[in-house]
């Protein structure tokens, strides 16, 4: 299990849909307690009181270390649980372009700068979002 901060802000409902499509999970308070994460506040899966569930969800505030109730439509930072799997990028020689990177998620990517993905500060696959691993 790995906690991954997402770049854009999500409503709770949008985050649930994204996690369902990608096979990710929204972390619970138990998953994030004691971890130093990039965002001060983010959505967690802990359910609010039954009367609030339809319109509200919980966010976790790291600074105060408390759960807070927020409207599900607010756009808030998101952290998700992803598998430890990595997307492997393999360099493929190409006579037309000089070479490109083929990903294990079945995409191709050309880097116009010199160097490998890691030398160009790529940490995640831009197609599937998994941790990027280079293979030559």
Q: In this structure, what CATH number is given to the domain that contains residue 30?
A: 3.10.100.10
Q: Where does the chain have alpha helices with state H?
A: 12-22, 29-32
Q: So what's the pLDDT on residue 25?
A: 93
Say what the pLDDT of residue 34 is. Answer: 86
**Owning domain of residue 68:** 2-81
Positions of the chain with pLDDT lower than 50, given as ranges: none
Distance (Å, rounded) from C-alpha 23 to C-alpha 74? 23
pLDDT, residue 52, reads 95
Domain boundary among 56, 81, 106: 81
**124 and 60 housed in the same domain:** no
Contact 124/130 with Cβ under 8 angstroms?
A: yes
């Amino acid at each position: 299990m790995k906690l991954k901060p997402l770049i854009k802000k999500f409503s709770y409902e949008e985050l649930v849909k994204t996690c369902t499509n990608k096979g990710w999970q929204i972390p619970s308070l138990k998953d994030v307690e004691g971890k130093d994460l990039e965002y001060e506040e983010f959505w967690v899966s802990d359910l609010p009181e039954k009367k609030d569930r339809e319109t509200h969800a919980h966010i976790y505030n790291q600074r105060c270390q408390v759960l807070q109730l927020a409207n599900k439509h607010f756009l808030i930072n998101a952290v998700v649980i992803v598998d430890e799997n990595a997307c492997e990028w393999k360099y493929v020689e190409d006579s037309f372009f000089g070479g490109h990177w083929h990903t294990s998620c079945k995409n191709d990517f050309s880097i116009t700068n010199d160097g490998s993905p890691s030398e160009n500060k790529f940490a995640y696959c831009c197609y599937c979002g998994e941790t990027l691993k280079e293979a030559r």
